[in-house]
Amino acid sequence: MKVITKLNAILLIGLFISCCCKKDDDSTFNLTTEPTNDIEGNLWVQSENNFTELNLKDSQETNSFTTLNSFQCTEFDGKFICSQGSHSETKTLMQKGSFNGELIWKKDYVANSEHYYTLNAIEVHQNTVFVGHSIIDKNTYASTYYLEALDLDTGSVNWNIEVENEIKRITSLEGQIITELSIGSSTLELLSINANTGNIDHRLPFTDRIGRLIDGTSSIFVMTWNNNVISMDNQLNFNWIFETDGTNILGGIETENQFLFYSRDKNVYSLNKNNGSLIWQNSYLEDYPLGMSIFNNKVYISNRKEDEINLKIKTLDLFSGDEIDSYIHEITEELNASSTKFYFINQYLLLSKIIPSENKSNASLINITDKALLWEKELNPITYPHLIITPSKVYK
């Protein structure tokens, strides 16, 4: 009996070794799977006045062009509204069928011997383009400030009003245009302006410096440089105020009944968007968060310690704030922290990194769920992200 058992054992071991060593073996024992890469869209990067389009899926160059002046664009319903021009020369506002497509109309703000223009803020609401601009006297450098409403289809002026100070930010809510007036970086006042008539319906003196002005479905969210997050209606009435333990000028997202934001006090917060009550809070022991995305009931958020260059990405449950997973993305190059940009696109993270000592930059795409680097591309010389255009959203 013992002999038979020993023989059987030898035969089984031999069979196992033979199976494992066969050159034509199938993938039965190969548990490694390729990371998902179903991202769609393209990334436009800019180096001075040269613009290059890269496919997000594989980073291959698909288009490029050069302009006389650098320009910035915003997008509305598949059309792009772009501003172009240098500081003291003609400013041009253009509507284009696509980012580099056919020009539909343009409006020139033409400098002359007495004055020149700056375009301070641009917002699209329904069928109107709202342009906050300044006219600067070339002799005295005194400025006058205006908000102008242009027809989205034709570029014709619907109305034009003068305001007391520079328009720093513009957002919209339920037929009202909400503008922040400022001097330099200091906030002075919020205005609620009728989008159809240009009438200033409400004024709110507001001296708490604003870091973000975020539009929601039924309210706007004001994130200040101090420790307040404020929800307002379109008449500038306060719905609620939430106080954090430190400055909170970073970013926020509205989703379903929640307003989520990440703060410089090293916390991520979820608030009930209707009453401002705290739903959950997730604290960081490391440096404060750097970017956030919500996808499939998960919250993706990144951070990096001040004395390290590696990037940590945490995955949180949307409803409880509990940490589901974490992933460390190793970065070996010297970085310029202020020029490292984070773009969350669903479960993907696009990193744009500047390497000053070598006069170059690179971009890389990470699948956060699969913890995989999908591609990395060196851009030479230093190149900056301009627009990311996906089927569902445009990122600037």
Strand order across the beta sheet in which 252-255 lies? 252-255, 258-263, 267-272, 278-283
User: Residue 74's beta-bridge partner residues?
Assistant: 81
Other Cβ atoms within 10 Å of 166 Cβ, number? 19
> For residue 345, which of 305, 291, 385, 282 has the smallest C-alpha distance?
291
195 backbone dihedrals φ, ψ, rounded to 5°: -65, -25
What is residue 72's predicted lDDT score, i.e. its pLDDT?
86
CA distance 237 to 130: 23
pLDDT at 359: 83
What is the rounded distance in angstroms from the CA atom of residue 88 to the CA atom of residue 109? 11
pLDDT number for residue 266: 85
Report the Cα 132 to chain-centroid distance in Å.
21
pLDDT reported for residue 297:
95
Please give the full DSSP string across 86-150, using - where no structure is assigned.
Answer: -TTS-EEEEEESSTTS-EEEEEEE---SSEEEEEEEEEEETTEEEEEEEEEETTT--EEEEEEEE
pLDDT of residue 337: 56
pLDDT in tens, the chain (396 residues): 444 444 444 444 444 444 444 444 443 334 457 888 999 999 999 988 899 999 999 999 999 999 887 888 888 888 899 998 877 778 899 999 888 889 999 999 999 999 999 999 999 998 999 999 999 999 999 999 999 999 999 999 999 999 999 999 999 999 999 999 999 889 999 999 999 999 999 999 998 999 999 999 999 999 999 889 999 999 999 999 999 988 877 889 999 999 999 888 888 999 999 999 999 999 877 777 778 889 999 999 887 766 666 788 889 999 999 999 988 887 766 555 556 788 989 899 998 888 777 788 889 999 998 999 999 998 878 888 889 999 888 887
Position 118 scores a pLDDT of 92
The predicted structure's pLDDT at residue 98: 86
DSSP symbols for 100-112: TS-EEEEEEE---
* Structure tokens belonging to residue 84: 């172009």
Q: Kindly list the distances between the CA atom of residue 238 and the CA atoms of 175, 212, 306, in Å, as whole numbers in the listed order.
A: 18, 16, 36
End-to-end CA distance of the chain: 77
Closest to 250 measured CA to CA, from 235, 261, 237: 261
Q: In whole angstroms, what is the distance from residue 46 CA to residue 64 CA?
A: 10
How far CA 159 is from CA of 46, 61, 106, 122, 149, in Å, comes to 34, 42, 17, 15, 5
Q: What is the pLDDT of residue 274?
A: 96
Number of alpha carbons in the 13 Å side-chain half-sphere of residue 52 = 18
**CA proximity to 389, closest of 126, 42, 103, 93:** 42
Q: Rounded to 10 degrees, what is the CA torsion of 172, 174, 177, 178? A: -70
Q: List, as own/partner pairs, every contact residues 327-333 make where C-beta atoms lie below 8 angstroms and the sequence separation is at least 24, other chains included.
A: 327/368, 327/371, 329/366, 329/373, 333/309, 333/362
Q: Rounded to 5 degrees, what are φ and ψ at 127?
A: -105, 30
Write down the pTM of the prediction.
Answer: 0.85
How long, in residues, is the chain? Answer: 396
Cα angle: 263, vertex 265, 271; to 5 degrees: 50
pLDDT score, position 185 = 85
Structure-token pair, residue 241:
């105020």
Other residues' Cβ atoms within 10 Å of the Cβ of residue 282: 21
Structure confidence at residue 332 (pLDDT): 64
